[in-house]
Amino acid sequence: MHRDSDLPATALSVEPAARQFAESVEIMARLRAPDGCPWDREQSFDSIRKYTLEETYEVLDAIERRDWSNLREELGDLLLQVLFYAQMASESEAVGFSIADVLGELNRKLVRRHPHVFGEEASRRAGNTASVDAAGSSEQVLANWEAIKQAEKRRQAEKNGQADATPAASRLDAVSRSQPALAEAAQIGSAAAKVRFDWPQWQMLLDKLSEETAELVAEATQPEDAPRRQARIEAELGDMLFTVAQLARHLHVDAEMALRAANLRFRRRFAGMEQMAGDALPDADAEELEALWQRAKQAMAATEAGES
């Protein structure tokens, strides 16, 4: 038994968290027990998927609002999703893993993919088979991460007896479709850029955006009874959004986060309009609405300047 003074500072700091985590695991098991909560017992992997997505976005919302107290709660709700999945997995012979397996897999992955922190030998003991440079620059870290990740995939394919399987039909097959469309579009663009299929400068994407806009206008101005009009409009609008995602990538902006920030600004400015106009807002004409919008925009800018 180690005395507290024998433990490294990091170990001492995680002990309370370890105790709390163990209690959370026990509570989750109790909720799923035969005499536990009827609702929790009825849930399945499929039924709680939507809650996982909701909790993820609630975490993002708390961060964007800088509501740190709420963030603490939302992170707990997100962690609950992990505990829920792991508990259900431990109950199923077909799935058959526990929260301990999840943590072990995570720990090995973190050590494996950070040879610049834990050392190359520790990284190899954790399963790294890639040859990487353990230098610690951000660029090298990202290159190592990708190389180690690809080695993991090859090892898993061999383990599954797929070493001689037909390779992926496309380089883009590695880009997951199970993510927000703007993020997927950016990753598709990055993958294509690796073989130099990309726009050389971000300014060229503005010209491309103008081209896509003109094509959308051409479809949208067709007669409403034109064959497949709505499908063509959707396709052209999709091309516009894809181009915007590539522009964001070139400018090193996360398009999803940029849009979320724009949504929040609109909410705040519209709320300002409502406060200024009161009950008269629904009856305001276009000119009055624009004036209110500009006033709300200026008021928000003044507030933000004061806060900074």
**DSSP assignment letter at 39:** H
Sign of the CA dihedral with 275 first, then 277, 282, and 284 last: negative
- CB contact at 8 A, 102 and 82: yes
pLDDT in tens, 192-217: 998 899 999 999 999 999 999 999 99
Q: Does domain 181-253 have CATH number 3.30.460.20?
A: no
**Number of Cβ atoms within 10 Å of the Cβ of 82:** 15
In terms of DSSP H, where are the helices of 92-224?
Answer: 99-112, 115-118, 120-125, 138-159, 181-193, 202-220
Q: How confident is the model at residue 1 (pLDDT cuts 50, 70, 90)?
A: very low
* Residue 234: pLDDT over 90: yes
Q: What is the mean pLDDT of residues 54-58?
A: 91
What pLDDT shows up at residue 58?
A: 92
Higher pLDDT, 168 or 118: 118
* Residue 45: pLDDT over 90: yes
Q: How confident is the model at residue 8 (pLDDT cuts 50, 70, 90)?
A: low
Q: What is the mean pLDDT of residues 156-170?
A: 65
Q: What is the mean pLDDT of residues 96-107?
A: 95
CATH 1.10.287.1080 domain position(s) in the chain: 4-159, 181-253
CATH superfamily ID and name for 4-159: MazG-like (1.10.287.1080)
What pLDDT shows up at residue 163?
A: 53
pLDDT in tens, 261-287: 899 899 999 999 999 999 999 999 999
Report d(CA 75, CA 15) in Å as an integer. 19
Q: How confident is the model at residue 176 (pLDDT cuts 50, 70, 90)?
A: confident
Q: What is the mean pLDDT of residues 76-94?
A: 96
Higher pLDDT, 119 or 164: 119
Q: What is the mean pLDDT of residues 213-227?
A: 95
pTM over 0.75: no
What pLDDT shows up at residue 5?
A: 44
* Residue 42: pLDDT over 70: yes
Query: Does residue 176 sit in helix, strand or coil?
Result: coil
What pLDDT shows up at residue 276?
A: 94
Report d(CA 254, CA 190) in Å as an integer. 13
Nearest to 184 by CA among 263, 249, 113: 249
* Residue 222: pLDDT over 70: yes
